[in-house]
Amino acid sequence: RYYAGGRLGIISRSGNGYPTAGIECGIDYTIGRLVLGLRATRDKRGDFKFYNEEPEMRNSGFVKIGWKL
């Protein structure tokens, strides 16, 4: 399975909400009931204001290992 799309959200830090928005893409591969996947994201993170920094773009990568029930 290949997928791609947008991301929107709110990051909570000490009760304050900071916006985040970006894109995501990935691939999931199923072998029997085992699921292996890779995902990449690029987000504009507004929560850096909590640390007195300007919002900036952040890249992230993830590895998924799962089991279908």
Furthest CA-CA distance within the chain: 48
Digit-coded pLDDT (tens) for 13-62: 888 899 999 999 999 999 999 999 999 999 999 888 888 888 889 999 99
Q: Looking at the predicted structure, is the pLDDT value of residue 9 above 90? A: yes
Please, which residues bridge with residue 64 across strands? 37
pTM of the model: 0.77
Handedness of CA 60, 37, 12, 42 (dihedral sign): positive
d(CA 47, CA 36): 31
